[in-house]
Amino acid sequence: MGNQDLQIGERYLRRTVYEAADLFAEAMRQEPAGPDPLPFKVYRQVPRRKLPEAIPEEIGTDAQGDLTDRRLSTLLYYTYGFSRWDVGPGAVWPYHRTVPSARCYFPTELYLWLPGSDGPAGIYHYDALHHALALIRPGDFRAELARILGAGLDGARGVLLLSSLFWKNAFKYRGYAYRLCAQEAGMVLGNALLVADRLGLRGEASYRFLDRRAGRLLGFPCSEEQLFAALALYPDTDPASERTRPGPAEDDIPDLALPYVRPEGPSHAHDPLFRSIADNCLLDDEDQFGAVPSAAPACAEGATELAMPRERLPAFELGPALRARDSGNVLFHPVARTLPISVFWEIVGSATVPYRSDLRAGTGVPGVSLDVVVLDVEGLAAGIYRFCPDHAGLHPVREGNVARQLQGALPVPNINLLSSAVVLYLSADYPAASRAFGNRAYRMVNIEAGIVAQRICVRSAARGLSARVHNGYDAEGVASILGLADAGLTPFFQIAVAHNRPGVQVGLPITY
């Protein structure tokens, strides 16, 4: 078994996407294995570096250069900070951050390598509860990180390292949890790209790296926590260079085992289905990285195209949008209201903006397909459209309002699609991705879809809308309705965008 045993990834895809309702029902019938994990990871017995408490209401570029503590404070808070606390009878899951999370379990953890500016060089963990940095491994690890990521980091001001602490989801969702972990890591990465850009930083994402060596550097076993993505940060004034592979890694990283607060105990057994994908998508050698480009699915040729307006997408205030972002009420029954066409194009047009990663040479669009179901948009006929990034336009797939059909594809009707303005689906050609990247493709596809999903959520919030990311759909039914099966695409995300109805809870902002 291993990353190239593609049947493992195919089975996990089938169980967690096409048979998700049955798998989810199985998980819900089981009692949680022990107490709930804490919503925040807090290390003990390590030096702490308190970040400035004056968080700016808006994120803007300032003096270019190092990641000072003031800029770090802004970057980390808006990327994945503890941003809201809900109170009231409707506050089922009270703790919120700037990204969506299933039941607000927040399995993603943020680590950060810093070369040293306002504080000591080293590897830090972001303590979101206390808005502080915990120094877990002091020292300059630029060369070591470069070996792990398979790319030079000359000129990098820092590297964000996104891991997933599996048990925060797996204690409840069991084998299904890996899908949720990968999706959330993508949304956090998408958020980091947005915030870094506003701070005048260029992010370059890495998805292929030496997993066990990364875990050793960060101090966690791969069975408990794994690195899912890395984002090297450069001043946007620095010219982008091609990735260069460093020399071979030397086995010189001392072990690291640090205690952190955990009520569930020091060990727990993962579901066999979960272990099948988590253990068999790891890379142990630089030669496994490959150099295969992953292009986004092409639009259908010859279809009539509805082009986006030529004017540049309007700017918006990112800070207020991130603080306002929400997923709607637990039972999402939004207010039916026509969506202005200008807002529609903002949301759709910003979703697949190119970015730099190790999945393709230079700058490229995320490798997912965006299908747009128009239900109530000013001046646009109801129907299914496929967005084409190359032509910045929509290809009609099917005419007519399909809201009732899509509503019928929800096994649990906790979302009212009939009163939504637009529903967006993110899909990918998984067999092609797995042939290129092995079982690692499952993680990569979900992360890239998460980047797009977060862009949709943030743009929606900037215009007073809620965006509900939802996995509870019948994938086979949705694929049939959208015409995805003929294109060989699998739907990984469903996002309903609408005007939320006032709930019976109050969201209290958390500011520092």
Long-range Cβ pairs for the range 394-399 (8 Å, 24+): 394/305, 394/306, 394/348, 395/299, 395/300, 395/303, 395/304, 395/305, 396/303, 396/304, 396/306, 397/300, 397/303, 397/371, 397/482, 397/483, 398/482, 398/483
Identify how many contiguous H helices and E strands the chain contains and give both numbers: 15, 19
Note the pLDDT of residue 510. Answer: 82
Predicted confidence (pLDDT) per residue in 344-384, tens digit? 999 999 999 999 999 988 889 999 999 999 999 999 999 99
Note the pLDDT of residue 313. Answer: 86
Note the pLDDT of residue 301. Answer: 53
Note the pLDDT of residue 300. Answer: 54
pTM of the model: 0.95
Mind listing the domains of the chain with CATH numbers? 40-285 (3.40.109.10), 306-509 (3.40.109.10)
Give the mean pLDDT of the chain: 90
Note the pLDDT of residue 242. Answer: 61
Note the pLDDT of residue 131. Answer: 95
Task: Retrieve residue 162's tokens.
Answer: 């996104």
Note the pLDDT of residue 392. Answer: 85
Predicted confidence (pLDDT) per residue in 448-476, tens digit? 999 999 999 999 999 999 999 999 999 99
Which residue has tokens 């969702």? 173
Cβ-based neighbour number of residue 487 at 10 Å: 18
Note the pLDDT of residue 237. Answer: 83
**Sign of the dihedral through C-alpha 280, 284, 290, 293:** positive
**Per-residue pLDDT tens digits of the chain, which is 512 residues long:** 899 999 999 999 999 999 998 898 887 788 777 778 898 999 999 999 999 988 999 998 665 667 889 999 999 999 999 998 888 887 888 889 999 999 999 999 999 999 987 789 999 999 999 999 999 999 999 999 999 999 889 999 999 999 999 999 999 999 999 999 999 999 999 999 999 999 999 999 999 999 999 999 999 988 899 999 999 999 988 777 665 666 665 667 888 889 898 877 767 789 999 999 999 999 988 777 765 554 555 555 556 678 888 778 888 999 999 999 999 988 899 999 999 999 999 999 999 999 999 998 888 999 999 999 999 999 999 999 999 988 889 999 999 999 999 999 999 999 999 999 999 999 999 999 999 999 999 999 999 999 999 999 999 999 999 999 999 999 999 999 999 988 899 999 999 999 999 887 788 888 76
Note the pLDDT of residue 221. Answer: 87
